[in-house]
Every structure is written in C-alpha cells, then in structure tokens.
C-alpha cells in the first residue's frame, strides 16, 4: 500500500516537474515580441496608457477618449524565459507584411478572390482598384492588437478599404493652371480632364499620399502600423474602356494643339523682345558719340571761348578739304 501511494506521489511530482519546469521555459525570436498574461490579465505598466505613447499624436480629442489602452510589459527577443502554469505567452510577429489591397482574411472569395477591390468614383463610375498594402504590428500598442479587437488584421483591412473608397468617391483633381494663366485658354482642356477616372489615374501618387495620412492613426486605434499603401492601377468597366480611350485620344490631340500654339506664341514674343533690345542698343550706339561730343564741347567752352571757336574752325576746314563741290550763297 505504501509503495502504491509512493508511486502516485512520485508520478504527481514528475508531472509537476515536467509541467512547471520543462514546459515553463520559452524563447522569443528576433522578429517577435511577447506579452505575458496571468489568469488572462496582461502584465501592465501602472500609470501609463497608449495615450502616453507617440502613436497617439494622430488622434483627435474624441478618439483619445475612445482608444485609451493600457501599456503592457513587452518581452523582447531572447530567452529562455520562464512562466508559471497559470500564465500564458502571446507572441506577435512584428516584421513588415505585404498584402494585396483587396485582401480579406475572413472571406477568401471576396473582392474577386482577393485580387481587385471595387469602388465608385464621384461621377458614379464603377472601377476596379489594384494595389498593395504594407503593415506591421506596433510594439508601442500591443494591448490593442492582442486584446482590443477579435481579428485585428481583418478589422484594419476593413478600415483601410473604407477610407480608400471614401477618398475615391470624393477625389477632386487640383487646378492644373500655371500661375497667371487664363482660364479661357485651358477651359476646353479642363472640361475633358473632369472625368474622375482620368483624374485618379494621373494623380495616383497623390491618392497614395492621402491614404498614408489618413491611416496614421491606425497604430493608436488597432495596434497596427499601415507602413505604406501603393495603388498601382484603376480599371473602368470594359464596356466604357473604348469610350474613355477615345476621349483621352481627343484630349491628347487638343493638348498637343494648345501646346504647339502656345510654343509658337512664346517664340514670337521672344523674337519681338530680342528685336526691341537690338534696336535699343543701336539707338544707344548712335546717341553715345553725340553725347560724348557735347561733353567735350562743354569742356572747351568752360576753358576758353577762343578754344571752342578754334575747334569749330578746324572742323570747318577739315570738312571743306574733303568736299568735292562747295555751294556758297552770294549776297548782292
């Protein structure tokens, strides 16, 4: 009987050793971060919340009250670390991930099998959007990622898609006129460029920058940093693709004609400016000797009246010596 009890005690002790000692050690990889929970509660940093972190600088006052998460102790790469049986380790991959902009982690068949996202432009045109999205988990707000929402990636993708669709539906291209350029000269061109799909295609970089600015608060909201968005293509429906191509061709022809006329006018204006400059220089060249001569005559007059008279007499004799015929007035 004692041997049986001893065997039970030894088995229990052996199980506890394996369960507590051997299974209690864990490591954290270089691209991972870990949070330890005791009975489901994460180890927190007292007196600090996510609002004390730099990720909260992009939240407005209403959002600051809504997205207030506690700061938790983050376990960095290394190990081995030890945990008790009532504790759990939550590991997170913090490396940058790249996904399709149409990615839906919950419904693989959504958005044309996660390859293209549908959106509507401001002139009620259905278009397909293709692109990529880079994201990573925020180390400064792991509580929001682990415990804030049930499926954070799906939540963040939904947030991204809603912001993108709102920007597509309200996008307005900026006025492309140069400073001082009249509206009448570009009125036809601007009317053609008013088609939203053309505006979007020509301003993809601006759309991407707007998306980056709008998604700056995602780290404070959901603990996910939207590193960059890259919209690479916007396709209209096939039935209107040919019509848009014809419009774009006509627009290119009009733009080429306007550019040629503008270049010709600029060339003529520049030639006129050069002609005026040349004639002005010629006039200065003809006037300059006369001005110098008048200055010399004034100097002679200041020195002596006889000197001026002698100079004039010398000029008169020189002219008479070079003259082939002299006509003199005879007085009766």
User: What are the residue ranges spanned by the domains of the chain?
Assistant: 49-59+91-173+190-236
Tell whether the torsion through CA atoms of 98, 102, 107 and 110 is positive or negative. negative
Q: Which fold has domain 49-59+91-173+190-236?
A: Tetrahydropterin Synthase; Chain A (3.30.479)
Reference 125, options 231, 200, 197; nearest CA is 197
According to the model, what pLDDT value does residue 273 have?
87
The token pair that represents 81 in the structure block: 């670390």
According to the model, what pLDDT value does residue 18 have?
66
Burial class of residue 92 (count of CB atoms within 10 Å of its CB; 0-12, 13-18, 19+) = buried
Give the Å distances, CA to CA, from 284 to 87, 278, 295: 96, 10, 16
Q: Which residues contact 323 (CB under 8 A, 6 or more apart)?
A: none
According to the model, what pLDDT value does residue 298 have?
78
pLDDT one digit per residue (tens) for the chain, 332 residues = 666 666 776 776 776 666 666 677 889 999 999 999 999 899 899 889 988 888 888 888 888 888 899 999 999 998 788 888 888 999 999 999 999 988 988 888 888 888 888 888 887 888 888 999 999 999 889 999 999 888 888 888 888 899 888 888 888 766 544 444 444 444 444 444 445 777 788 888 888 888 888 888 888 988 999 888 888 888 876 666 666 666 667 777 777 888 888 888 888 888 888 888 888 888 888 888 878 878 877 777 777 767 767 777 777 777 777 777 777 777 65
C-alpha 147/C-alpha 40 separation (Å) is: 10
According to the model, what pLDDT value does residue 187 have?
43
Q: Which residue has the tokens 């309200």?
A: 170
Q: Which residues contact 106 (CB under 8 A, 6 or more apart)?
A: 151, 154
According to the model, what pLDDT value does residue 246 have?
67
Bridge partners of 133, per DSSP, are 99, 229
According to the model, what pLDDT value does residue 247 have?
67
According to the model, what pLDDT value does residue 189 have?
42
According to the model, what pLDDT value does residue 22 have?
67
The token pair that represents 132 in the structure block: 């990529």
According to the model, what pLDDT value does residue 331 have?
66
C-alpha 179/C-alpha 159 separation (Å) is: 38
Instruction: Please report, for the chain, how many H helices and E strands are present, in that order.
Output: 11, 11
According to the model, what pLDDT value does residue 87 have?
86
Q: Which residues contact 173 (CB under 8 A, 6 or more apart)?
A: 193, 199, 202, 203
Q: What is the DSSP letter of 17?
A: I
Reference 83, options 39, 30, 20; nearest CA is 20
Q: Indicate the pTM of the whole model.
A: 0.62
């Amino acid at each position: 009987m004692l041997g049986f009890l001893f065997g039970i005690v030894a088995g229990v002790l052996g199980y506890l050793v394996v369960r507590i000692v051997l299974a209690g050690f864990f490591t954290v990889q270089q691209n991972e971060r870990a949070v330890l929970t005791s009975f489901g509660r994460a180890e927190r940093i007292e007196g600090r919340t996510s609002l004390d972190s730099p990720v909260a600088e992009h939240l407005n006052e209403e959002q600051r009250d809504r997205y207030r998460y506690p700061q938790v102790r983050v376990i960095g790469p290394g190990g081995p670390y030890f945990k008790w049986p009532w504790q759990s380790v939550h590991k997170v991959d913090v490396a940058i991930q790249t996904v399709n902009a149409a990615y839906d982690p919950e419904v693989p068949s959504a958005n044309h099998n996660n390859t293209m996202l549908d959106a509507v432009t401001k002139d009620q045109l259905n278009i397909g959007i293709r692109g990529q999205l880079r994201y990573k988990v925020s180390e400064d707000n792991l509580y929001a990622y682990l415990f804030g929402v049930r499926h954070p990636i799906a939540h963040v993708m939904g947030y991204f898609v809603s912001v993108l669709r709102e920007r597509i539906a309200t996008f307005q291209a900026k006025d492309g006129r140069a400073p001082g350029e009249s509206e009448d000269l570009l009125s036809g061109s601007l009317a053609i460029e008013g088609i939203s799909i053309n505006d979007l295609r020509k301003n993809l970089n601006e759309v991407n920058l707007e998306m980056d600015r709008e998604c700056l608060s995602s780290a404070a909201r959901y603990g996910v940093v939207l590193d960059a968005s890259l919209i690479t293509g916007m396709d209209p429906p096939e039935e209107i693709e040919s019509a848009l191509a014809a419009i774009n061709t006509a627009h290119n022809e009009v733009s080429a004609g306007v550019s040629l006329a503008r270049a010709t006018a600029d060339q003529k204006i520049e030639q006129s400016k050069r002609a005026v400059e040349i004639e002005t220089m010629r006039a200065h060249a003809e006037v300059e000797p006369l001005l110098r001569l008048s200055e010399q005559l004034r100097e002679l007059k200041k020195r002596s009246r006889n000197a001026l008279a002698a100079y004039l007499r010398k000029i008169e004799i020189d002219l008479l010596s070079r003259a082939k015929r002299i006509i003199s007035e005879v007085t009766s």
